[in-house]
């Protein structure tokens, strides 16, 4: 059991310094949640890491689902059986789950059901920046937004109570800053979970045929009117200050930046903080508008609150000046910092500010693009593909890529990332490229991503007689988000035994005729398979199977052995620097003599570099000294 055990041991009134996502996990314990499911995605991943450790002991069922849609559908079924349920994901995961989410307002829920969307302003770990508050409005369900770890826990408990009281799912929205900030959290009482329920049939409420759905839409609209009153009286919506002619409406992490910015401005501002922002609390906001001559709207991403505030002011005939993104005073994108909020308010109100100038370091820092770890099997795979293309003299090859560690193939020296849209899109776009061009197409996808969203696109490719090579990089984990188990390994959440799903059997069953499994550390074997696959007419699949180097390292350490390291014989090194420039392992560097050397602290002992395809003069050999 890891340090997450402390969340189980907390008693009511105890305090602990927690990450926002750890506070969410504690909130699940206090809410008595019996079923939780996710597909891992930053910035929500740590919730799953905690539950992976403690769910079983807490009496909660937890799983890493094959994708977000399956996670939500499982949680919905548990809710319909009377079990409090939770599905969580990153913001783009809501796109995958949205089919189910948009219908759950109609069916309603029985046991409380909360869906967490962790949005990612500034795209720290995502392919786009989207504002998932819109999902709550589209689905006609409540939206709850915490701004710190204490609220993450407390608001989550409130969300479950609201869900059960009104019979609707609740969207619980965090952002990267809320999920990853730390703060002191005071524990509340734990509610005993129930992981088992009983389902009672009611197809006229749960089977959304048109005749059922039309009636349920009317019921949902009636519920929504009740929820409007809940929003106006919600304890999550609070006014801070009073008596100023200037007010501000804010929510989520933007609230923190606003409160940090205000002390440095020569103006007093009353703040309306919205923790339940959908349905929009019209009565509360209308009263706030009437009592202020100017109201600032401070929110990250879309003008969600601003649009509704402006519409309400117009509808009620209130002449308060509303200032926000739409009139150009606040940034339209990216995460808000106190400095950005401070300068925006100062410009909007014409007041002085004490913004500090950025420190001049006197040097230009070099760029630091992300790289694959030393020993990463994906590097060897990309290197073998590059060799194959060079030997076959193939030009203008198109490289659709996907979401995962192997996305680092986008960078030099491999530059094999021509298009990446979303999970599974490498195979989907390979369908289109192979149809409308005569260029070679090589698509890359990981094992977890393949099961998440790649399967339907591969079915489409086989059925429609496409011609491309698909390289499935099987490292037996979901490495980028925290080493969660994908469906091809023999264990699941909490280490429970699971039935592994064979990628090669699935691919063959779909109808792919050329399927070959290779070890990417075996460069000659991988090179031969890639060249052969590129000559095949139709869809060919090469599965590059080698566990993640970090998992391998952990296993070596558990055994008490040392990780082997390699070194360069300076007498044999020819100075070609192929290992540095073309193989591009970060443990290699060029010394002041122009010869290659290996940093023993970085070397992971994979031994790929020993092969002549990386080091033609055979100047690399294993060191006598390993490392811990």
Bridge partners, 250 (sequence order): 273, 298
Give the global pTM: 0.92
User: Predicted confidence band at 317 (pLDDT cuts at 50, 70, 90)?
Assistant: very high
Tell me the pLDDT tens digit for each residue of 576-625: 999 999 999 999 999 999 999 999 999 999 999 999 999 999 999 998 88
Dihedrals φ, ψ of 62, to 5°?
-135, 140
Q: Which residues contact 441 (CB under 8 A, 6 or more apart)?
A: 397, 398, 399, 400, 430, 433, 434, 467, 468, 469
User: What is the pLDDT of the chain when averaged over all its residues?
Assistant: 94
pLDDT at 501: 95
Tell me the pLDDT tens digit for each residue of 507-525: 999 999 999 999 999 999 9
Q: Are strands 143-144 and 182-186 parallel, antiparallel or unpaired?
A: unpaired
Q: How many CA atoms lie within 13 A of 50 on its CB side?
A: 24
Domain with residues 377-556, CATH architecture:
3-Layer(aba) Sandwich (3.40)
Tell me the pLDDT tens digit for each residue of 33-59: 999 999 999 999 999 999 999 999 999
Average pLDDT of 202-210? 94
529: pLDDT strictly greater than 50: yes
Separation between Cα atoms, residue 55 and residue 59, nearest integer Å: 6
Beta strands across the sheet bearing 170-175 = 61-64, 35-38, 85-90, 113-119, 170-175, 143-144, 276-278
User: Predicted confidence band at 370 (pLDDT cuts at 50, 70, 90)?
Assistant: confident
Per residue, what are the HEC states of 331-398?
CCCCCCCHHHHHHHHHHHHCCCECCCCCCCCCCCCCCCCCCCCCCCHHHHHHHHHHHHHHHHCCCCCE
Q: Which residues contact 473 (CB under 8 A, 6 or more apart)?
A: 377, 378, 381, 404, 406, 444, 445, 446, 447, 520, 544
pLDDT at 1: 42
Domain with residues 238-349, CATH architecture:
3-Layer(aba) Sandwich (3.40)
Average pLDDT of 546-561? 89
Residue with tokens 């937004």: 145
CB 454 within 8 A of CB 503: no
Dihedrals φ, ψ of 622, to 5°?
-70, 135
If 0-12 CB within 10 Å is exposed, 13-18 middle and 19+ buried, where does residue 9 land?
exposed
Separation between Cα atoms, residue 207 and residue 387, nearest integer Å: 54
State what percent of residues in the chain have pLDDT above 90.
89
Q: How many CA atoms lie within 13 A of 192 on its CB side?
A: 1
Same fold, 238-349 and 562-628: no
Residue with tokens 């294993």: 622
User: Which tokens belong to 139?
Assistant: 């689905």
Q: Is 237 left (phi over 0), alpha (psi -120 to 50) or beta?
A: beta
Secondary structure letter of residue 537 according to DSSP: S
User: Predicted confidence band at 362 (pLDDT cuts at 50, 70, 90)?
Assistant: confident
User: Predicted confidence band at 355 (pLDDT cuts at 50, 70, 90)?
Assistant: low
User: Which tokens belong to 210?
Assistant: 């048109």
Domain boundaries, the chain: 5-233, 238-349, 377-556, 562-628
Separation between Cα atoms, residue 563 and residue 570, nearest integer Å: 23
Q: Is 609 strand, coil or helix?
A: helix
Is 603 one of the annotated binding-site residues? yes
- Angstrom CA distances, 95 to 102, 361, 410, 424, stand at 11, 42, 24, 13
Tell me the pLDDT tens digit for each residue of 132-183: 999 999 999 999 999 999 999 999 999 999 999 999 999 999 999 999 999 9
Average pLDDT of 398-420? 93
Is 609 one of the annotated binding-site residues? yes
State what percent of residues in the chain have pLDDT above 70.
99
Average pLDDT of 107-126? 95
CB 176 within 8 A of CB 43: yes
Domain with residues 562-628, CATH architecture:
2-Layer Sandwich (3.30)
Tell me the pLDDT tens digit for each residue of 268-302: 999 999 999 999 999 999 999 999 999 999 999 99
Sign of the torsion formed by the C-alpha atoms of 126, 131, 136 and 142: positive
Separation between Cα atoms, residue 620 and residue 597, nearest integer Å: 9
Average pLDDT of 175-192? 96
Separation between Cα atoms, residue 552 and residue 385, nearest integer Å: 24
Tell me the pLDDT tens digit for each residue of 472-498: 999 999 988 888 999 999 999 888 999
Is 376 one of the annotated binding-site residues? no
pLDDT at 356: 59
Q: Is 416 strand, coil or helix?
A: coil
pLDDT at 534: 97
Q: Which residues contact 3 (CB under 8 A, 6 or more apart)?
A: none
Separation between Cα atoms, residue 552 and residue 546, nearest integer Å: 10
Tell me the pLDDT tens digit for each residue of 448-457: 999 999 999 9
pLDDT at 561: 87
**Going by CATH, does the domain composed of 5-233 fall within 3.30.70.890?**
no
**DSSP codes, 460-476:** HHHHTT--EEEEEEE-S
């Amino acid at each position: 059991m890891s340090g997450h055990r402390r969340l189980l041991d907390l008693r009511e009134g105890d305090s602990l310094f927690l990450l926002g996502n750890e506070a969410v996990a504690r909130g699940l314990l206090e809410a008595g949640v019996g079923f939780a499911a996710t597909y891992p995605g930053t910035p929500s991943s740590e919730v799953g890491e905690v539950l992976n450790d403690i769910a079983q002991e807490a009496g909660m069922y937890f799983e890493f689902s094959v994708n977000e849609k399956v996670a939500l559908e499982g949680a919905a079924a548990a809710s319909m059986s009377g079990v409090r349920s939770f599905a969580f994901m990153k913001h783009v995961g809501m796109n995958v789950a949205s089919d189910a989410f948009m219908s759950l307002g109609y069916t309603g829920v029985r046991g409380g059901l909360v869906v967490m969307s962790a949005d990612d302003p500034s795209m720290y770990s995502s392919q786009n920046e989207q504002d998932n508050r819109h999902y709550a409005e589209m689905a006609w369900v409540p939206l709850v937004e915490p701004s710190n770890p204490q609220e993450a826990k407390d608001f989550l408990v409130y969300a479950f109570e609201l869900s059960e009281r009104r019979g609707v799912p609740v969207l619980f929205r965090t952002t990267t800053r809320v999920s990853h900030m730390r703060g002191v959290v005071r524990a509340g009482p734990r509610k005993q979970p129930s992981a088992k329920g009983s389902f009672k049939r009611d197809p006229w409420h749960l089977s959304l045929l048109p005749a059922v759905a039309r009636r349920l839409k009317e019921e949902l609209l009636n519920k929504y009117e009740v929820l409007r009153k809940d929003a106006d009286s919600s304890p999550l919506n609070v006014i801070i200050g009073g008596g100023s002619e200037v007010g501000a409406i804010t929510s989520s992490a933007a609230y923190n930046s606003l409160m940090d910015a205000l002390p440095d401005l020569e103006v007093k501002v009353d703040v309306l903080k919205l923790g339940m922002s959908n349905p929009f609390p019209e009565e509360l906001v209308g009263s706030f508008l009437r009592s202020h001559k100017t109201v600032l709207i401070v929110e990250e991403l879309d003008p969600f609150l601003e649009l509704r505030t402006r519409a309400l002011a117009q509808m009620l005939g209130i002449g308060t000046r509303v200032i926000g993104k739409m009139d150009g005073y606040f940034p339209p994108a990216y995460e808000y910092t106190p400095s950005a909020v401070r300068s925006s308010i100062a410009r909007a109100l014409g007041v002085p500010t004490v913004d500090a100038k950025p420190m001049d370091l006197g040097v230009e820092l070099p760029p630091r693009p992300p790289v694959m770890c030393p020993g990463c099997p994906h590097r060897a795979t990309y290197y073998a593909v590059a060799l194959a293309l060079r030997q076959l003299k193939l030009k203008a090859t198109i490289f659709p890529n996907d979401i995962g560690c192997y996305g680092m193939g986008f960078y030099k020296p491999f530059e094999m990332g021509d298009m990446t849209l979303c999970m599974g899109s490498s195979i989907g776009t390979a369908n289109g490229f192979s149809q409308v061009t005569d260029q070679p197409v090589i698509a890359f996808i990981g094992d977890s991503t393949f099961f998440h969203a790649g399967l339907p696109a591969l079915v489409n490719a086989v059925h429609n007689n496409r011609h491309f090579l698909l390289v499935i990089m099987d490292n037996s984990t979901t490495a980028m988000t925290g080493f969660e188990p994908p469906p091809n390994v023999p264990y699941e959440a909490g280490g429970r035994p699971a039935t592994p799903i064979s990628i090669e059997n699935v691919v063959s069953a779909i109808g792919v005729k050329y399927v070959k499994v290779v070890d990417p550390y075996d460069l000659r074997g991988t090179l031969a398979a890639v060249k052969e696959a590129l000559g095949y007419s139709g869809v060919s699949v090469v599965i590059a199977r080698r566990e993640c180097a970090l998992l391998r390292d952990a296993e070596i350490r558990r055994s008490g052995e040392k990780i082997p390291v390699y070194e360069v014989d300076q007498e044999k090194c020819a100075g070609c620097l192929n290992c540095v420039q073309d193989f591009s392992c970060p443990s290699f560097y060029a010394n002041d003599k122009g010869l290659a050397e290996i940093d023993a602290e970085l070397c992971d002992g994979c031994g790929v570099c020993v092969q002549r395809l990386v080091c033609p003069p055979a100047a690399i050999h294993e060191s006598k000294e390993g490392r811990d």
